[in-house]
Amino acid sequence: MDGNATTRHKNVALLSVTSELAQRVTTSDELDRRLQPVLKRLKLPKGLLQRVAGVMERRNWSDGQTFEAAAIAAGKRALDEAGIRPDQIGLLINTSITRRNLEPSVAVHLHDGLGLGSAALNFDIANACLGFVNGMNLAASLIDAGQVDYALVVDGEDFDDVQTNTVDRLLNGDIARRDFMSEFASLTLGSGAAAAVLGRADRHPEGHRIIGGITRSASQYNDLCVGTVNGMFTDAAGLLKHGMELVVHAWRDAAKDWNWSHMDRYVMHQVSDIHTADFVKSAGIDRDLVPLTYPTLGNVGSASIPITLAQEAKTLSKGDRVLLMGVGSGINTAMTELAW
């Protein structure tokens, strides 16, 4: 295939991956209680979030917590675990969907908070829930090209306002059943942060090699999921149908160059039971090899994959093959192989 849809990295390793979880837990039962008036009026049953999405709870920031501070904390811990000083970082990429303002970038606040050197390039990459994987691949390419020795990819998400605004709007007496379902996905969102340090594999034999992977796009479906600070509005059936079509197409197309049918772990973007089950069935993989965090953390946007990988890292052994798999609104998908 023409373009840059397939990438192979030569000398890049993941040196650390960390997560920072929000402290306040919001259960789906609690949201059911808050939404009881509208559920009753629309004749919708309680427990939709649990039964349809498989989300039992999600995290929200407590008073005094911010997504920027959490991202900085995750970044500092990632540096410590990798044994890399802040002044050694040549590139910082922030991949957060969340931002408080259009400019300056979130990255400049993280750069300052992390105490990185003035020569460290820093910027944001925004690509819905796929941003962190895109950021890792771009950082890996720049390391392979000799532009930087070490890169830090960071993400902090705060969907608390989206959740609050969605609940308030759904309680409005004018909301119809169709409107409720178009905002259902907003109720699955959770907040959190993550970070990863990448470096040259030949300098860090203890690291986890980033082998490469593929990307694919079906941008004609760019209007199926549109998120703002006020809420996320989704054509759930259309997004599931066309998103899975793209992912399955990418999976089958990748078989020409990659052998991903027998990985030791499949770390997927965390969306719901339905999305996970559909892909597992279509790809013919063992569901026991797909770790899940959405039941207790919800969909944490671009931080979802690194948070899941960070939690799964302690169960991985040297030599294990890991596939990072994401799909983001738009629609885009990416799959990246790691050799643990």
Catalytic residue IDs: 103, 129
Whether residue 210 contacts residue 338, with contact meaning beta carbons closer than 8 Å, is answered with yes
Whether residue 97 contacts residue 330, with contact meaning beta carbons closer than 8 Å, is answered with no
Residue of 196, 211, 203 whose CA lies nearest to 16: 196
C-alpha 252/C-alpha 281 separation (Å) is 13
* CB proximity list for 217: less than 8 A, separation 6 or greater: 246, 330, 331, 332, 333
24's tokens: 């306040």
Find the Cα–Cα–Cα–Cα dihedral 281, 285, 288, 290, rounded to 10°: -90
Residue 4 CA: distances (Å) to CA of 145, 146, 241, 258, 327: 15, 19, 25, 16, 17
C-alpha 154/C-alpha 14 separation (Å) is 13
Q: What three-state secondary structure class fits 133?
A: helix
Find the Cα–Cα–Cα–Cα dihedral 175, 181, 185, 188, rounded to 10°: 80
State how beta strands 321-328 and 265-268 pair. parallel
